[in-house]
Amino acid sequence: MRAAPRRGDGQLAVRYVDEYRDEQAGARLVAALRERVSRRWTVMEICGGQTHTILKAGLLDLLPPEIALVHGPGCPVCVTPVELIDAAVGIAEQQGAIFCSFGDMLRVPGSQCSLLEAKARGADVRVVYSPLDALKLARANPTREVIFFAVGFETTAPAAAMAVWQAAREGLSNFSVLVAHVLVPPAIEAILSSPDGRIQGLLAPGHVCTVTGYQPYEELARRHRVPIVVTGFEPLDILQGLLMLVNQLEKGRAEVENQYRRSVRREGNRAAQQLMDEVFERVDRQWRGLGLIPLSGLRLRARYGAFDALGRFRAARTATAESCECMAGLILQGLKKPSECPAFGTRCTPESPLGAPMVSSEGACAAYYLYSRRRWPSEQL
Amino acid sequence: MCLAVPGRIVSIQEEADDALRTAVVDFAGVRRQVSLAFTPEARPGDYVMVHVGFAISVVDENEAERIFQELARLGACEPRQEEATDNSP
Amino acid sequence: MSSFELSCPVSLPAEDRILLAHGGGGKLMHQLLERFFLPAFGNPRLEARHDGALIEVNGVRLAFTTDSYVVRPLFFPGGSIGDLAVNGTVNDLAMCGARPLYLSAGFILEEGLALDTLRRVIEAMRAAAERAGVELVTGDTKVVERGHGDGVYINTAGIGVVEASGEIGPGRVEPADAVLLSGDLGAHGVAVLSVREGLEFQAPILSDTAPLWGPVAALLASGVQVHCLRDLTRGGLASALNEVAGARGLAVRIEEAAIPVAEAVKGACEILGLDPLYVANEGRFVAFVPGNQAERALEALRSHPMSAGAVRIGSVLEESAPLVLLRSRMGGQRVVDMLSGEQLPRIC
């Protein structure tokens, strides 16, 4: 084992974090990228967490201009359908309910309001860091209904599955889950199948693949002839993942490679997969901004149906209004840039978002809003 | 998608049922209880990736080391094409 | 081939209620100021929106400020609401270049509050006032019904005498000014969260709440031209810098590698999904001084225990844009925006 690393400024590094933020190593990767790339490539990073790192570390400045990086739909905040937000609000407003959610979801606008606004009006909405926190609340408050908003991709679904599984074992009668999980491979299939598609390579989400393995992506790569690199979340991970992707593109290869080998194995995490399969089954799901993607969502299996919040609460559902200015769909597919939306930065800002990609700090629109403002007047995007 | 953070297992609380096994994990001096339900192979001293209170993988130290060896090679000469690495048996 | 139907969200109706985020020190709070408070009370001093008001009475320059304290939990590692109530107001005066002298304190107590809790809060205030060299000279107490307060709310107002010879405020910031930070970030926010979230630490993180007149006096005494001072509170370093950049209309650039954050604070922020730049502090400030006086200023700051960890984190740029830019460790640049509302922990 290597000795505990030190950062450039001499400070003791945070293991497995700081090493992947090393500037000199990053510079070498960037130099290699610039040297390797010979023409324009359009690549998409799937995961919102990767978008976040790219923006936070200012990586867009460093990449060669030939690489067009498109931010994909890998943000549960952005893609959770409006109906589920409305259901969440409806349930949260029930007398005596304790509605538990990850922080990410609180500001997302439903058709009437967000969970944060429901909280302002008196609903008991609580931020939790784990589904097990919601379970603890249920045990501690036996006379109140506790509902957990199960949002997220395959990374998070096993944790929600465990909460349901434990609740079933304990015979808890006051706990339920509003399931909004979505799956990545069907979304990639939909994006790559789109007739207007321009995506030539993909950075696959490293933590989703930690759970699912990358086997499900091999067929996608082969059928669509698109290279896919499973990538981590630190700046060096992203840069190395891009280098591996560019290497494949320049050589005309279309395979799945694994950059995030310290966490991802081809078969993934079997224990997590087994529990997901025990508790959930696949179902068609609406992706906000993308529409219906077949078999891209999860719901509780019948034997766990008692824990389904949608069944337990007849939450009023309002029809989603059809037309509006938000062009989230085109943006999430990478067909338009946020700056091409007429509402961008004027009627739609992080304080008053029209759509989900402006709400989430790693949504494409919020990202562009921050990034584009640094361009001085002569360089407006 | 998701924030998973690496931490070091300080101690493990064994349970009769593996699904309820937990660990105290240290993240740069902050300690939290983490479920090991999905990482039955984890041992004290291991680093794990933690997401929403669950360890989802044990960090493979050898693989972590390899990125630095590859980076060192990068600096020394012409960037070499990375071979597709496949950990499957 | 699949086809897509756009399913779009509908725009939010304008908010008609106060959200918790309005108190977060970010954009929403500033919007509240602009929509309601400034139009009603508008006068040049209020519009200067500095930490305290500068007034002159019979030739004596005074600083006058007020702040309210609503922290929950009331007690946390390293301090309590009592410490904050004294230090917060003392620091607002110090940021005006004024020696803090007298405080008032108004208490709003919730029916049912344990008298022992009140005693502990008052004792903490007494000790903090002594440490800060101020006297509590007038006060008031009210009680509200059970369920209408978090136990204790405190408002303190403070008066100090201005000792800085020149004016100190965002208006005096100039291109090429150095941006100095008095110490490491995030300890207060994490200390408070550690109680709320049940975090454990190998070595407990203590709130950094502290009276800052000492370091400010040392800085003024060094003869350095101090252009602007701003203490970091809610909204953290990012908000403080955005306020100054916004008020002055000049861009500020900071270096990520230069910003000190204690390991355990970093660790806590990583696992909670928070960015240290936005986490609350209660005993840290930034100072804007001419670039060529930065070394002298740092020497003066480091000579005082409350700012022993002072470092230079960046510079004011020539560009007339009210932005804060950050050069990351990786060498890329990004805008550090003001928070929209409260910082919410993220899992994604």
Candidates B7, B28, B50; nearest CB to C264: B28
Choice among A119-123, C49-53, C123-127, C283-287 with the minimum mean pLDDT = C49-53
Per the model's pLDDT, the better-predicted residue between A380 and B79 turns out to be B79
Report the pLDDT value the prediction gives residue C32, as an integer from 0 to 100: 82
Within an 8 Å CB–CB cutoff, is residue C12 touching chain A? yes
- E-strand ranges in A36-111 read 41-47, 67-74, 98-101
* H or E element at residue A237: helix A235-251
User: 319-338 in C: which are within 8 Å (CB) of A?
Assistant: 319, 321, 323, 325-335, 337
Q: For residues A126 and C26, is the Cβ–Cβ distance under 8 A?
A: no
Taking contacts as CB-CB distances below 8 angstroms, the residues of chain A near B40 are 271
Q: Tell me the β-bridge partners of B76.
A: none
Q: Does the beta-carbon distance from C7 to A288 stay under 8 Å?
A: yes
Cβ within 8 Å of residue C296, ≥6 positions away: C222, C223, C224
Domain B5-76: CATH architecture, name and number where available: Roll (2.30)
Q: What is the token pair recorded at B23?
A: 């660990």
Tell me which chain B residue has its CA closest to the CA of residue A256.
Answer: B84
Report the pLDDT value the prediction gives residue C3, as an integer from 0 to 100: 28
What are the C-alpha distances in Å from B34 to residues A55, A187, A226, B38, C127? 29, 30, 37, 11, 39
The owner of tokens 């405190």 is C154
Q: Does the beta-carbon distance from A14 to C263 stay under 8 Å?
A: yes
User: 228-257 in C: which are within 8 Å (CB) of A?
Assistant: 257
Taking contacts as CB-CB distances below 8 angstroms, the residues of chain C near B32 are 199-200, 271
Touching C (3+ Cβ pairs <8 A), the chains are: A, B
Rounded to two decimals, the ipTM of the complex is 0.88
Report the pLDDT value the prediction gives residue C141, as an integer from 0 to 100: 93
Taking contacts as CB-CB distances below 8 angstroms, the residues of chain A near C11 are 109, 324-326, 347, 352, 354
Touching B (3+ Cβ pairs <8 A), the chains are: A, C
Mean pLDDT, chain C, whole residue set? 88
% helix, strand, coil for chain A, step of 5: 45, 20, 40
Q: For residues A243 and A32, is the Cβ–Cβ distance under 8 A?
A: yes
Q: What percent of chain C has a predicted confidence (pLDDT) above 90? A: 63
Compute the nearest-CA separation of B6 from chain C (Å).
Answer: 9
Q: Does the beta-carbon distance from A352 to C11 stay under 8 Å?
A: yes
Cα gap C150→A318, rounded to integer Å: 36
Report the pLDDT value the prediction gives residue B75, as an integer from 0 to 100: 63
Q: How many CB atoms lie within 10 A of CB A317?
A: 14
Cα gap C280→C234, rounded to integer Å: 5
Q: Does the beta-carbon distance from B31 to C348 stay under 8 Å?
A: no
Taking contacts as CB-CB distances below 8 angstroms, the residues of chain A near C34 are none
For each of the domains in chain C, give its residue range(s) and CATH number, in order of start: 51-162 (3.30.1330.10), 170-335 (3.90.650.10)
Q: What is the DSSP secondary structure assignment for residue A313, as one 8-state letter?
A: S
Task: Using DSSP, state whether A137 is helix, strand or coil.
Answer: helix
Q: Does the beta-carbon distance from C264 to B31 stay under 8 Å?
A: no
Q: For residues A132 and A163, is the Cβ–Cβ distance under 8 A?
A: yes
Candidates B1, B2, B30; nearest CB to C271: B30
- End-to-end CA, chain C: 30
Cβ within 8 Å of residue A108, ≥6 positions away: A77, A80, A85, A114, A115, A356, A359, A360
User: 122-151 in A: which are within 8 Å (CB) of B?
Assistant: 129-133
Q: Does the beta-carbon distance from C200 to B50 stay under 8 Å?
A: no
Candidates B2, B29, B52; nearest CB to C201: B29
Q: Does the beta-carbon distance from C334 to A119 stay under 8 Å?
A: no
Sheet holding C324-327, edge to edge: C228-232, C284-290, C177-181, C311-316, C252-255, C324-327, C333-335
Within an 8 Å CB–CB cutoff, is residue C346 touching chain A? yes
C149 pLDDT band, cuts 50/70/90, is low
Q: Does the beta-carbon distance from C2 to A293 stay under 8 Å?
A: yes
Touching A (3+ Cβ pairs <8 A), the chains are: B, C
User: 29-88 in C: which are within 8 Å (CB) of A?
Assistant: 31
User: For residue A200, with 0-12 CB atoms within 10 Å meaning exposed, 13-18 middle and 19 or more buried, which class applies?
Assistant: middle
Candidates A116, A152, A294; nearest CB to C347: A152
Longest dimension (CA), chain A: 65
Q: Does the beta-carbon distance from C323 to A373 stay under 8 Å?
A: yes
Per the model's pLDDT, the better-predicted residue between C127 and C8 turns out to be C127
What are the C-alpha distances in Å from C233 to residues A271, C26, C287? 45, 11, 14
Report the pLDDT value the prediction gives residue A113, as an integer from 0 to 100: 85
Q: How many CB atoms lie within 10 A of CB A207?
A: 28
* H or E element at residue A245: helix A235-251
The owner of tokens 């609580």 is A126
Rounded to the nearest 10°, the torsion over CA C153, C46, C87, C322 is 110
Taking contacts as CB-CB distances below 8 angstroms, the residues of chain B near A233 are 3-4
Tell me which chain B residue has its CA closest to the CA of residue A46.
Answer: B1
- Residue of A365, A368, A363, A371 whose CA lies nearest to A47: A363
Compute the nearest-CA separation of A226 from chain C (Å).
Answer: 17
Tell me which chain C residue has its CA closest to the CA of residue B2.
Answer: C348
Candidates B3, B28, B52; nearest CB to C267: B28
User: For residue C89, with 0-12 CB atoms within 10 Å meaning exposed, 13-18 middle and 19 or more buried, which class applies?
Assistant: buried
State which fold the A78-183+268-312 domain adopts: Rossmann fold (3.40.50)
- Residue of C206, C222, C185 whose CA lies nearest to C311: C185
The alpha-carbon radius of gyration of chain B (Å, integer) is 16
Taking contacts as CB-CB distances below 8 angstroms, the residues of chain B near C200 are 30-32
Within an 8 Å CB–CB cutoff, is residue A346 touching chain C? no
The alpha-carbon radius of gyration of chain C (Å, integer) is 21
- Residue of C104, C113, C89, C97 whose CA lies nearest to C221: C97
Q: For residues C259 and C330, is the Cβ–Cβ distance under 8 A?
A: no
Q: What is the token pair recorded at C201?
A: 């630490």
Cα gap A297→A307, rounded to integer Å: 17
Taking contacts as CB-CB distances below 8 angstroms, the residues of chain A near B51 are 155-156, 159, 207
Three-state SS string over chain B comes to: CCCCEEEEEEEEECCCCHHHCEEEEEECCEEEEEECCCCCCCCCCCEEEEECCEEEEECCHHHHHHHHHHHHHHHHCCCCCCCCCCCCC
- Where exactly are the structural domains of chain B? 5-76
Task: Express each pLDDT in B27-76 by its tens digit.
Answer: 888 888 999 999 999 999 999 999 999 999 999 989 888 877 887 777 65
* Tens digit of pLDDT at every position of chain A (381 positions): 344 455 545 444 567 777 788 888 899 999 999 999 999 999 999 888 888 888 888 888 899 999 998 888 877 777 888 889 999 999 999 989 999 999 888 888 888 888 988 998 899 999 998 999 999 999 999 999 999 999 999 999 999 999 999 999 999 999 999 999 999 999 999 989 988 778 999 999 999 999 999 999 999 999 999 999 999 999 999 999 999 999 999 999 999 999 999 999 999 999 999 999 999 999 999 887 778 999 999 999 999 999 999 999 975 555 555 335 667 777 776 677 777 777 777 777 776 666 667 766 656 677 667 655 554 333 332
Task: Express each pLDDT in C45-97 by its tens digit.
Answer: 776 666 788 899 999 999 999 999 988 889 999 999 999 999 999 999 999 99
Taking contacts as CB-CB distances below 8 angstroms, the residues of chain B near A20 are 67
- Residue of C270, C136, C280 whose CA lies nearest to A16: C270
A300 phi/psi in degrees, rounded to 5? -70, 140
- Residue of C221, C150, C148, C237 whose CA lies nearest to C188: C237
Report the pLDDT value the prediction gives residue A315, as an integer from 0 to 100: 58
Q: What is the token pair recorded at A220?
A: 């996608």
- Residue of A363, A348, A376 whose CA lies nearest to A104: A363
Mean pLDDT of C256-265: 94
Task: Express each pLDDT in C5-35 by its tens digit.
Answer: 222 233 333 467 777 667 766 677 778 888 8
Cα gap A176→C201, rounded to integer Å: 32
Tell me which chain B residue has its CA closest to the CA of residue A205.
Answer: B1
- Residue of B64, B61, B48 whose CA lies nearest to B10: B48
Within an 8 Å CB–CB cutoff, is residue C137 touching chain A? no
Mutate to test the interface with B, among C193, C196, C201, C271 (most CBs of B within 10 A): C271
What are the C-alpha distances in Å from A361 to residues A56, B63, C21, C124? 10, 31, 16, 39
Q: Judging by DSSP bridges, how do beta strands A175-179 and A146-150 pair with one another?
A: parallel
Cα gap A236→A57, rounded to integer Å: 10
Taking contacts as CB-CB distances below 8 angstroms, the residues of chain B near C199 are 30-32
Per the model's pLDDT, the better-predicted residue between A204 and C2 turns out to be A204
Residue type, C56: E
DSSP string, A103-134: GGGTT---SS--HHHHHHTT-EEEE-SSHHHH
Mutate to test the interface with B, among A6, A15, A256 (most CBs of B within 10 A): A15
Tell me which chain A residue has its CA closest to the CA of residue B48.
Answer: A263
Task: Express each pLDDT in C150-190 by its tens digit.
Answer: 689 999 999 999 999 888 999 999 999 999 999 999 999 99
